[in-house]
Amino acid sequence: MKMSFAGRVLEMSRCHVMGVLNVTPDSFSDGGRFNRQDAALLKARQMVADGAAFIDVGGESTRPGAAKVSIQEELDRVCPVVEVISRELDVIVSVDTSTPEVMSQTAGLGAGLINDVRALQRDGALAAVADAGLPVCIMHIQGEPETMQDRPEYQNVLRDVGEFLTQRVRVAVQAGIDAQNIILDPGFGFGKNLEHNVRLLASLEQLHSLGHPLLVGMSRKSMLGLITGREVDERLSASLAAATISAMKGASIIRAHDVRETVDAVRVATAIKEAV
Ligand code: 7PM
């Protein structure tokens, strides 16, 4: 099953790497628009050289307690970066946003994928994606980013996540989004404790049966810190183990900070998987 991202076609039965590019002020010491565009392009260029198929551009921190970003501020951060990467590099630009205005504007600037950690639940988001005609990643989240990690609870995390995603697919298709353009993500760390995250990864194959390609993001996340006892800067090996397991279990896209290393891990997993 091939998918087309603003004209770039990928075989989704294979596993691809998505590099993370944050354009929040804490990530790019702010020196105005051109400086930020330059720094982002440099980082993106390296990730493409390292084998990234996607660059995920995000301008709103989803960290609990992070300051709220106005629509205009998010547009100012994200649009120039999406525009310059689409123009200059041979890569699919993904936009990590829940804001309909950002979805619509970046679609016109060459974005190839909308990645919404709020599963198109904001007013206007479904219509923005339907009008853009772009593929979308719908991620499971329990609660809101600010409070999602205060005592998350499930009856059965696998069933609950599956039902949420099925429901959001139904709503998205009703809103005019092509079912073939929908990627699903269990949302590791988004309203889940360690046991929840581990169960989801252990049973990732089951989410595959929903009939959509899967994207997963565990790079440097706290679940890996809890398992290994490592601080965020020391979680590369753990992230590669998680990426390898995900690729073996059929994930189509791995979202990662360390692209070169993740691409190697995915290549090894893919070689073994295809030899079975
Ligand atoms: C604070 C909390 C900072 C969470 C950063 C994060 C995913 C994503 C993110 C994911 C998809 C991070 C996350 N995670 N999009 N965006 N799937 N589709 O650790 O797992 O990078 S942000």
CATH number of residue 8's parent domain:
3.20.20.20
Query: Ligand 1: residues within 6 Å at CB?
Result: 20, 61-63, 96, 115, 117, 137, 139, 185, 187-188, 215, 217, 221, 255
Q: Give this prediction's pTM.
A: 0.96
Domain hosting residue 190, numbered range: 2-275
Going 189 to 193 to 197 to 200, the CA torsion angle's sign is negative
Beta bridge partners, 183, equal 137
The tally of domains found in the chain comes to 1
Q: Per residue of the chain (276 residues), what is the pLDDT tens digit? A: 999 999 999 999 999 999 999 998 766 555 677 788 999 999 999 999 999 999 999 998 877 667 789 999 999 999 999 999 999 999 999 999 999 999 999 999 999 999 999 999 999 999 999 999 999 999 999 998 888 999 999 999 999 999 999 999 999 999 999 999 999 999 999 999 999 999 999 999 999 999 999 999 999 999 999 999 999 999 999 999 999 999 999 999 999 999 999 999 999 999 999 998
Task: Provide the pLDDT for residue 24.
Answer: 85
User: Which of 55, 62, 165 has the most ligand 1 atoms within 8 A of CB, as the residue to mutate?
Assistant: 62
Please tell me the distance from the alpha carbon of residue 115 to that of residue 95, in angstroms, as a whole number.
6
Task: Provide the pLDDT for residue 75.
Answer: 97
Q: Could you tell me the distance, in angstroms and rounded to a whole number, from the CA of residue 217 to the centre of ligand 1?
A: 7
Give the closest residue to 69 by CA, choosing from 91, 41, 97, 28: 97
What are the catalytic residues?
221, 255
User: Which of 147, 197, 221 has the most ligand 1 atoms within 8 A of CB, as the residue to mutate?
Assistant: 221
Task: Provide the pLDDT for residue 30.
Answer: 55
Q: Could you tell me the distance, in angstroms and rounded to a whole number, from the CA of residue 236 to the centre of ligand 1?
A: 16
